[in-house]
Amino acid sequence: MSAAPLPIAQRLWERPPHLHSGSSPAHISRAFLVALAPVVAATLILFGRTAAAVLCCSIVGAALGEALVFYIAPSGPRRNMLHAVLTGALVALTLPVSVSWHIAFLGGLLAQGVGKGLLGGFGNYVWHPALVGRAVLQLLFGAQLAPRCWPVLAQGRLWAGSIGATAEAACYRGHQLSNPPWGVDAWGLQRPIDSALACYGTPVGEGSASGSGWLSMFRDHLPPWSDTLWGTVGGGIGETCTVALVLGGLYLMYRGLLRWPSAVAALLTVAALAAVLPVRLNGDPAWLPVFSAWDHFPAGVAFVLFHLTGGGLLLACLILAADPMTTPLTTRGHVVFGVGVGVVTMAARWFGLTPGSSYWAILAMNTLVPVIDRLTARRRPYGHPPGPTRLI
């Protein structure tokens, strides 16, 4: 007599696709947490104890979400608190340091309880859980997730300064050249990508993005590009430090979790589109801004670089897009996935559709992963024996 079939919920939780690769949930979560170590360290240095509070609230919310799912379906999944910590941390890294604690807590709770728990469990969810939580937060609390000024600790106040003592910079010349006055620990800055995107809508400066317009943008609105390497710019607490994000991405590549074709394809697509899409020059759209210059300064090249490092693109491409459960199975699929992320990101930026364009781009491409897998799978002749399958 054959055994009774397992309930659907239990079959989903006990037969996740990632098991075919030989990796356990704990191994995958641990690898991502190691990759996030330099990002979290940079976060604490750049944003201080307030960022630590945002991280803790989001992680506690995610842990509660994991516990609630286990309580509702005790015969289904085993509790995986490592994944809850990872999801909570990822949600927090996409948020501004000025966000309220209850919003960070709710983001972690929704990400783990809904994004993972109710949408299939580890190995079966369609959308990245952390981005599901952030998307809901953006719909509910859009103003707090896109503030006018993004605080970052000033020179000499790193690590120990207070975000509460923030002042808007009247004349900001970069982190190294701007000394805060007495009683000020942090500068309130605009994200570099937001300043750069003004060229697509209302021109920056004196009505154009050429000549005095380029000068106004790079002198009065944008920090030195080197500040984006070390993270001393406005942005989400895990978005700003390029060096830390690249280190985390390289570690995930080493562990085989981040497939380099997807990251390279996404970054190259964004760079190519930023180089050719028109900006406002003397009131008229001008194509190929990458060739623009002002007084022998390669303004167009710098403009493209700010597209790559001045927003959340690197966090999206190097960390969030490495999730093996929400990305394609084949190398060709990863190329298509990366190109899609780049195209959707630049479309949202160019049309000014929504903040957090890179995160929405990943959610959109997560939806298309089954289609990408079907279109990019290698078809074998009828009767040919199947070869080995590698899902991660």
pLDDT band, very low/low/confident/very high, at 213 (cuts 50, 70, 90): low
Q: Cβ(231)–Cβ(241) under 8 Å?
A: yes
- Domains of the chain, by residue range, sit at 17-144, 192-372
Query: What is the helix (H) or strand (E) element at residue 286, kind and residue range?
Result: strand 284-286
For 275-287, how does the pLDDT look when each residue is reduced to its tens digit (9 = 90+)? 999 887 666 677 8
pLDDT at residue 230 tops 80: yes
Give the tokens for residue 267.
């970054």
For 29-53, how does the pLDDT look when each residue is reduced to its tens digit (9 = 90+)? 999 999 999 999 999 999 999 999 9
pLDDT at residue 21 tops 60: no
pLDDT score of 211: 42
Q: Cβ(372)–Cβ(336) under 8 Å?
A: yes
- The three-state secondary structure class of 1 is coil
- Note the Cα 182 to chain centre separation in Å: 34
For 337-346, how does the pLDDT look when each residue is reduced to its tens digit (9 = 90+)? 999 999 999 9
pLDDT band, very low/low/confident/very high, at 293 (cuts 50, 70, 90): confident
pLDDT score of 280: 77
Whose tokens are 């167009």? That residue is 300
Whose tokens are 């004196």? That residue is 206
Mean pLDDT of the chain: 85
3-state SS, 295-344, equals CCECHHHHHHHHHHHCCCHHHHHHCHHHCCCCCCCCHHHHHHHHHHHHHH
pLDDT at residue 362 tops 90: yes
pLDDT band, very low/low/confident/very high, at 195 (cuts 50, 70, 90): confident
For 99-141, how does the pLDDT look when each residue is reduced to its tens digit (9 = 90+)? 999 999 999 999 999 998 887 777 778 999 999 999 999 999 9
pLDDT score of 78: 62
Among the listed residues 76, 32, 82, the one whose alpha carbon sits nearest the alpha carbon of residue 62 = 82
Greater model confidence, 231 or 70: 231
Q: Cβ(252)–Cβ(23) under 8 Å?
A: no
Range in 61-65, 70-74, 235-239, 273-277 the model is least confident about: 70-74
Return d(Cα 153, Cα 97) in angstroms, integer. 11
pLDDT score of 204: 38
For 154-166, how does the pLDDT look when each residue is reduced to its tens digit (9 = 90+)? 998 999 999 988 9
Range in 85-89, 92-96, 388-392 the model is least confident about: 388-392
pLDDT score of 71: 83
Return d(Cα 367, Cα 346) in angstroms, integer. 18
pLDDT score of 15: 44
Q: Cβ(240)–Cβ(234) under 8 Å?
A: yes
pLDDT score of 283: 63
Q: In one letter, which amino acid is 270?
A: V
pLDDT at residue 3 tops 70: no
pLDDT score of 2: 44
DSSP state of 219: I
Give the CB-side neighbour count of residue 101, counting CA atoms within 13 A.
7
Q: In one letter, which amino acid is 162?
A: S
Instruction: Compute CA distances 300 → 222, 233, 379, whole Å.
Output: 13, 20, 44
